[in-house]
Structure 1
Amino acid sequence: MKDAVRSLPRGMSVKDDWRAWLPQEKSQVFHKQVYELECSYAMLSVSLDEAIELRQLGHAGKSLQAVGITSGLCKLLTRELTGLLRALAEHAKHYGTIPNAAALDAANFQGARAQRSARMSALLNHVLFSQRLQFLHKVSTLEEMVEDLAKGFRHAADELAERNSLNPKKMWAEVDADHYDLNTCLREAIVVLKSFLIVLPESQLGAFENTVRQQSEEAELPSRQRMIRHGRMTAIAGE
């Protein structure tokens, strides 16, 4: 862990961080990241809304075609969101960044799996006394939730589009709930990013942006390739 540049002081709480002013360079990084995420989410959300509306209007064939498009859009959002979350974790581990982090609230999620993950995360948050561990745990939990939700969403969307589902009603409910919970994860990630930038020294902004790009690219790789690449990076770092 590098300690040449210490993190800036934290605010009193995540709420204080959210209300806080960011210097221009940090603000630009924040709004750039949020804009890219919001664009990807908007494309997914609009496409899913269209598919649901077509279904409600009785246009079954068109609705299945429309929902098929959402699978790829979900993949795009997931790549960018998991890339950001991994970058937050990697930078915090490497530089010792210690932002504020609030526990996840199961009431903000719709699906049973997401609610269970949020409850477990909240319980662990009470026994992790280190602020740094609380932050890393929350980011890790969000990443796992995003990957799990995206997997469920894409499976259901593909099943519907290919007309393979034996229970289409259940699949429609799945994409709806997973979309809702992905949105919650996105909002949580944006709040986490703001708290992270509050304490991030401006001299590390470039390194952080590079890590976001790298992690977003790696998010497209199969898990085995990511593990191999990560192993190589760890070995190099340890030389």
Structure 2
Amino acid sequence: MLFGWITKLRERRRAVLQSWRARLPEEKLRLFDLAEVELNACSTMLGVALDDALSFRADRRWSQAREGVAVSSALADRLADRLEAILEAVGEQGKHLVAVPEVLPLHSDFFGTAAAQSRARRSSILHETVLSIRGRFTKKLRVLNAVAEEATRHFQDKAAAIAEGAAGVDEWEALIALHSDLDTCLLETIILLKSFLHVLPPEQVGDFGKKLQDGMARPALARRRYSPVST
């Protein structure tokens, strides 16, 4: 029985790895590049703003440090919004697919905060108890969105405390860990998106592309928080 479980796990890993390495058709590749470039741009801007704020803090330039944190908070929200838009588009389009791609469990070591690590561990345990590929796919969408949303909320709370001058070392260190959570969600989302595009039927590419682009263009305040239906 254990041997069978290990074999299945290896097969899942192999399927995801092959999907990641395989080249997408041009129409699908354009959608993938659109999402990947936008996510990486958001993450890079957030990283630069946070690094600047940390440098100002190290130099005891408190006013500039607080301004940098305020910018970082807005950029963290933008990144989470883009992640949500992609996960929402994938989840909605996935309802129309006969088969969805295999996904791998989250690794807790890849996250920066204890809260995200705990959520990833629970998700990993549940991942192995869910028998259907669709069930694992849907649960991973939900967990990624939840981690990104929670990380952004805590990032904004810590940033607000710093702006008010009521923060210590812990708040600054928390920002670094929360940024790590968001970056891990970004990488997992990119991998999941490519796997999804591989199984997306050609006749659905246009519809999915519209969902993806409309979602990413929608103002953050107009977005409802996405929560895929459990299966």
**TM-score, normalising length from structure 2?**
0.86
- Cα distance in 2 for residues equivalent to 1:108 and 1:21: 26
Q: Secondary structure at the match of 1:160?
A: helix
1:141-198 superposed Cα distances (whole Å, 9 cap, x missing partner) = 00011000000011111221232x2x42121111111001100110000000111011
Q: Structure 1's 11 and 144: CA in aligned 2 closer, same or farther, altered over 3 A?
A: closer
Counterparts of 1:21 and 1:11, CA distance in 2? 18
Q: Give the letter aligned to residue 220 of structure 1.
A: L
2:205 alignment partner in structure 1: 205
Aligned residues: 216
2:173 maps to what in 1? Answer: 173
Q: How far apart, CA to CA, are the structure 1 residues paired with 2:98 and 2:143?
A: 19
> Is the contact made by 1:83 and 1:219 (CA closer than 8 Å) also made in structure 2?
no
1:36 Cα shift? Answer: 0.9
2:69/2:159 contact within 8 Å kept: yes
What is the aligned partner in structure 1 of residue 222 from structure 2? 221
1:75 aligns with one of 74, 77, 93:
77
User: 1:116-137, CA deviations, whole angstroms, 9 ceiling, x for partnerless residues?
Assistant: 1100110110111101111111
Structure 1 gaps of 5+ residues are: 1-9, 231-239
Query: What SS is found at the alignment partner of 1:46?
Result: helix
- 1:74 Cα shift? 1.2
- 1:131 paired with 2:133, answer yes
CA contact (8 A) 1:83 1:212 kept: yes
Q: Would you say the 8 A contact 1:91–1:97 is kept in 2? A: no
Instruction: Check if 1:34 corresponds to 2:25.
Output: no
Do the aligned partners of 2:148 and 2:182 also contact (CA within 8 Å) in 1? yes
Give the CA deviation at 1:214: 4.2
The residue type paired with residue 163 of structure 2 is A
Work out the CA distance in 2 between the residues paired with 1:181 and 1:158: 19
Task: Give the conservation status (yes or no) of the 8 Å contact 1:97–1:132.
Answer: yes
After TM superposition, the structure 1 stretch with the greater mean CA deviation from structure 2, 28-37 or 208-217, is 208-217
Amino acid paired to 1:22: L
Match of 1:15 among 7, 17, 27: 17
User: Could you say if the C-alpha distance between residues 102 and 115 of structure 1 is closer, same or farther in structure 2, counting changes exceeding 3 Å?
Assistant: same
**SS of match in other structure, 1:110:** coil
**After the TM superposition, which residues 77-96 of structure 1 pair with which residues of structure 2 at under 5 Å, given as runs?**
77-96=79-98
Decide whether the 8 Å contact of 1:78 with 1:150 is kept in 2: yes
The answer as to 2:22 corresponding to 1:52 is no
Q: Under a length normalisation based on structure 1, what TM-score does the superposition of the two structures give?
A: 0.84
Query: How far 1:63 sits from its partner (Å)?
Result: 0.9
Which residue, 100, 110, 113 being the options, matches 1:108? 110
> Structure 1 residues 194 and 222, CA, compared in 2 at 3 Å: closer, same or farther?
closer
Q: Deviations over 1:71-126 (max 9, x none)?
A: 11111111111110111111112334411201001011120000011001101101
Question: Cα distance 1:172–1:26, how it changes in 2: closer, same or farther (>3 A)?
Answer: same
Q: Distance in 2 between matches of 1:218 and 1:133?
A: 30
Distance 1:204 1:73 in 2: 32
Q: Which SS does the other structure have where 1:192 is aligned?
A: helix
CA RMSD of aligned residues (A): 2.2
Secondary structure class of the residue paired with 1:50: helix
Q: Distance in 2 between matches of 1:96 and 1:74?
A: 35
Rounded to whole Å, the distance in 2 between the matches of 1:97 and 1:151 is 34
